[in-house]
Amino acid sequence: MIEIIEAGFMISVPNVKAAPLNELQDEVVFMARSNVGKSSLLNTITKRKNLAKVSSTPGKTRLINYFDVTFLNRDNGERIKAKLVDLPGFGYAKVSKSIKSDWEKNLTQFISKRKQIKLFVHLIDARHPDLEIDRSVAEYLEQIADESQYILPVFTKIDKLNQKEIGALKKRFPDSLMISNLKKRGIDKLISVIYSILNGEV
């Protein structure tokens, strides 16, 4: 059983130049369209109510937020420190076009240059698995990820799907994980997959 036993806010930065050095620590980046449940998931996995703000106004946050976390493997007492990185939601329609392109340029630049990133967690709303924006994000990640970087697609809000729909999604995307923040489903599994990747077990 793997748990995150410590979690704290580290820093918010506006761009890659301002990002902390973190030379020795792996980073786990969380990316999603606005409103998919990214902040909720960060709070769920860290068991903190308000670590990442759960906003009802999508697209408000444009900073890159870093959190320090410690994973504990309860089976053998092993600990791993890492950084969780909360990226601004992408593809939010109400942002003006010029802001949007600057913002996305900034983000793509950030992602492609950041060698500390060990894992990209791409959150996708389980009700909308085929959006163009998610497809282009997935393709982009495949392009830029090097051999030491992993990509993990995670479907969120599966409480909104019935068993049949969940089954169909699993069949189509056998390598993805499925979670619900609301019902706390799939959370332990997600944490243990992240841990295995950080620990070099995958």
Q: How far is the CB of 81 from ligand GDP (least distance, A)?
A: 24
7, 152, 157, 191: residue in contact with ligand GDP (rule CB under 6 A): 157
Q: Cα separation of 152 and 190, whole Å?
A: 10
Q: How far is the CB of 165 from ligand GDP (least distance, A)?
A: 14
Q: Which helix (H) or strand (E) holds 103?
A: helix 97-113
- Applying CB under 6 A, does 65 fall inside the site for ligand GDP? no
Task: Point out the residue whose Cβ comes nearest to Mg ion.
Answer: 39
Q: Cα separation of 153 and 156, whole Å?
A: 10
Q: How far is the CB of 169 from ligand GDP (least distance, A)?
A: 14
- Applying CB under 5 A, does 39 fall inside the site for Mg ion? yes
Coil/strand/helix, residue 135: helix
Instruction: Report 97-156 residues binding ligand GDP (CB under 6 A).
Output: 156
* 89: its two tokens: 């939601």
Q: Cα separation of 125 and 32, whole Å?
A: 9
Q: Are strands 117-125 and 79-86 parallel, antiparallel or unpaired?
A: unpaired
Name the site residues for ligand GDP (rule: CB under 6 A).
32, 34-40, 54-56, 58, 89, 156-157, 159-160, 180-182
